Amino acid sequence: MYVIAGLGNPERRYENTRHNVGFDVIGALAGQYNINMNIKKHKAICGMGIVAGQKTMLVKPQTYMNLSGESISEILSYYKLDVSKELIVIFDDISLMPGCIRVRRKGSAGGHNGIKSIIARTGSSDFARIKVGVGEKPDGWDLADYVLGRFLGEEREMVNLAVKDACTAAGYMVNGEIDRAMNEFNTKKRE
């Protein structure tokens, strides 16, 4: 079984913010594969179903971004899953332009507090990830204010395209085609 976890913050006030694009991708995957997100356990909202032919649990941790590892580690432990083979994490990245995604087999936290929490709680940074670009914060802006802000009109359109790409990449990844996902999406540029 795979776990695909999209990071974000619960509460309505965080909906559609840059920091919640992980939740946006999970919502899109749930819609695409007709997965009902009706399970509330492991400090998360979850849905069980089939993604690209593979048994998958979609997860939106409800611990707030900085404590995402609490939920993820609990799920991995409960289902006895291998962090390096059965987990895909989707999250926002300010170093990528809106509309771009980057697929990685593993990596560091890169300053992202949600990823730091997952690494700390699982004891591993060897998990696949999909970074969704939200754009660099403007000069003079506080980082928290920026990532908790909403996309402007044109940015939102670009991010919606990236969400679709992330869904496609996740489908490849659960079928063991991470190289295909990296080759297709890591070089894709949006104008």
* Annotated catalytic residue within 18, 19, 42, 112: 19
Structure tokens at 69: 């590892």
The C-alpha atoms of residue 101 and residue 132 are separated, in whole angstroms, by 5
Which residue spans within 99-164 are E strands per DSSP? 101-104, 128-133
Cβ atoms 32, 52 nearer than 8 A = no
Helix (H) or strand (E) run with residue 59 in it: strand 54-61
19 is catalytic: yes
Helix (H) or strand (E) run with residue 12 in it: none
- Sequence-distant (≥ 6) Cβ neighbours of residue 111 within 8 angstroms: none
Structure tokens at 150: 């909403």
Radius of gyration of the chain (CA): 15
Question: What's the CA angle centered on 63, arms 161 and 147, to 5 degrees?
Answer: 45
The C-alpha atoms of residue 36 and residue 50 are separated, in whole angstroms, by 11
Residues recognised as catalytic? 19
